[in-house]
Amino acid sequence: MSTREQSDLEILMIGAGSLGAAISLSLARVGRKVGVWGRDIPAARSRLRALSEIDPSSASKADRNVSFVSSERLRQRAPSAILVALPVFALAPVMTEIEHRLPHAPIVHMSKGLEPGTGRTATQVLAASIRRDRSPEFGVLSGANAAHIVASGSDRTRAVLAAPTITLAHALVGLLETDDLTLAASDDVSGVELAGALKNVAAFGYGLTVGMGVQDRFAVRMLARSIEEIMVVLVAEGASADTLASAAFIEDVLETALLRKSRSFGAGVRIGAGDTPEALPNDLVRSEGFVSSKAILSRIGGRCLGTPMLNHISTATLGKLDSWALISELRGR
C-alpha cells in the first residue's frame, strides 16, 4: 500500500479496522482512490495487506489506489466523500479530536449502534461532535456488509445508502458502489441508521434464548417478536415504509442472528447461559448488539410502545435477565 499522498483522492476513510479496511479494498478494486486515516497506521497497513491476500488479484490494486493519511495532512485532502468506519462508542472522542482537520465533504458513517447511556444514533453523535459553522451533510451506509465477505470479493452484498436528499444519495451511490457492494439510494437517514442499530438488538435477543437452551421454536419466536417490536419503534421514529420493507434490512437482521457468527449474537448466548456482563470479554461488551441493547430503553424513553421483548433484552445487559418471565412471555402466558 502506498505511502504517498494522493492528489486525486476520491474517498477519505476514517477508521482502519476490519470494516474500514474491507470497504477500502473493495473501492480500490474498482479504481477508486482511497486515503485511510487511523491512529495506528502500521496496524492498518498490515490489516489491509492481510485482507488483500484473501483475493490475491486485489493486492496490486490496493497498492495503486490506497494510501494512508496522517492527521497533519487530513485538511490538505479534497475527497468527494468521507466514510466513517468507527464503532458508535468511539465516534464522539475520535471525531472531536480530528474534526477541525477534516476537509469539507459529505460524511457517510457505517456505525450500527446506539450510543451507550444516551441512545443517540451515530448521526446525532457526529452532529454534536462537529462545529456548527461547518454544517456537513451526513449520510449512512447500512446493510449486510460483513467485512470478511466484502474483502473476499466472493459475493455481492446489498446495502442502503441514505443521505438528506435523494439526489445526494444517488451521487454517493455512484461514487461508493463496487463490484462487491450493491447500494440502494434512500433519503431516510434516521430510519436506515436506526434499523441498522436495532437489528443487532434482535441478534442479541436471539442469542439470549439460544444461550438459555430453550426449544428452537421459542428462539425463533423471540427473534420474530423482537423484529416486530423493532418495527414498532421504527414506525414511532418516523422510518419510511421503504426502509421497513427493504430487502437489505431484512437480510441484515436475519444474517446477523441466524448465521450465529456475529459478536452481538455471541454476547447474547453468553448472557443467556448465565454469564454476568462483567464476565464478558471486552470484544463482546463492545459489540453493537450489547451496546445498543443496553441503550434501547434510553431511546424509547417514557413512550408506551408495547415492547416487552426489548425490555427483557435491555435488562439482560444489566445482569437482570429474568429467564422464567421471558419464557412465560414467549409461551404467551
Domains of the chain: 11-187 (3.40.50.720), 191-330 (1.10.1040.10)
Query: With b meaning 16 or more CB within 10 Å and e meaning fewer, what string describes 188-222?
Result: bbbbbbbbbbbbbbbbbbbbbbbbbebeeeebbbb
Among residues 66, 62, 76, 63, the alpha carbon closest in space to that of 7 is found at 76
| Residue 176: other Cβ atoms inside 10 A | 24
C-alpha distances out from residue 14 to 39, 74, 104, 244, Å: 10, 10, 14, 29
Q: How far apart are CA 56 and CA 52, in angstroms?
A: 6
**Cβ 212 vs Cβ 273: under 8 Å:** yes
**What DSSP assignment string belongs to 66-97?**
EEE--GGGGGG---SEEEE---HHHHHHHHHH
Quick one: cell of 110? 457505517
pLDDT of residue 154: 60
Amino acid at 126: L
pLDDT of residue 5: 46
pLDDT of residue 192: 94
pLDDT block averages, 10 residues each, the chain of length 333? 57 90 89 90 83 73 86 84 92 91 92 88 91 79 70 73 96 93 93 92 95 93 94 92 87 85 92 95 92 88 79 94 91 73
C-alpha distances out from residue 101 to 65, 94, 129, Å: 22, 12, 13
Q: How far apart are CA 264 and CA 290, in angstroms?
A: 6
Q: How far apart are CA 232 and CA 245, in angstroms?
A: 13
Q: How far apart are CA 316 and CA 304, in angstroms?
A: 20
Quick one: cell of 2? 502506498
User: What's the pTM?
Assistant: 0.88
pLDDT of residue 59: 73
Point out which residues pair with 138 in neighbouring strands: 107
Among residues 141, 101, 109, the alpha carbon closest in space to that of 125 is found at 109
**Cβ 127 vs Cβ 138: under 8 Å:** yes
Q: Report helix angle 216-236 to 323-330, nearest 10.
A: 90
Q: How far apart are CA 21 and CA 232, in angstroms?
A: 35
**Cβ 79 vs Cβ 24: under 8 Å:** no
**What DSSP assignment string belongs to 99-110?**
GGGPPSS-EEE-
The two counts, helices (H) then strands (E), for the chain are 16, 8
Element (H, E) at 59: helix 58-65
